[in-house]
Structure 1
């Protein structure tokens, strides 16, 4: 399950998972565009990007900074939802 983390001024939505079995957290990013969405998935703590559609390298650099700087808070929130799911 994904949980909303933040919505940016350009309507880009960032959401996170609970803590997964391998101790990673999935961070998903979506931005609405005409007829669909740009999307990308990042896995913490390595900040490995996967399934990138529509975002530029510059976009990913920007999102990497957001995700890395927010990683402690994202992990805390993911841990809280993991505990509440038990």
Structure 2
């Protein structure tokens, strides 16, 4: 299951998976693009491994890495508790 986490001003969507038995969480990021359809990249937490970058520039990727790094504690907490809605009690 993937849970919504954040939508950026440029319509970039950040979603995350449940926490796996190995403690890993998949963070998937995609952004609509008029020419290419969607740009996307995957990050694995907690180790911060990035893979499958399709369309994001190095500058965009640095920005996304900063966002994921600065919010990784929240993503991991939400992933362990069934997404934001379950973790927050809403």
CA shift at 1:21, angstroms? 2.5
RMSD (Å), alpha carbons? 1.4
Residue 20, structure 1, aligned to residue 52, structure 2: no
Q: Secondary structure at the match of 2:18?
A: strand
Distance 2:21 2:51 in 1: 18
Specify the SS of the correspondent of 1:19: coil
The runs of 5 or more residues in structure 1 that have no matched partner are none
Aligned residue for 1:20, secondary structure, equals coil
Provide runs of 4+ in structure 1 moved above 4 Å. none
Q: Give a deviation string over 1:28-59, Cα, whole Å, max 9, x none.
A: 00000015100000001111111110001111
Please state if 1:58 is matched with 2:53. no
Which residue pairs with 2:40 in the alignment? 39
TM-score when scaled to structure 2?
0.86
TM-score by length of structure 1 reads 0.90
How many residue pairs get aligned? The number is: 83
1:21 aligned counterpart, secondary structure: coil
| 1:11 aligned residue | 11
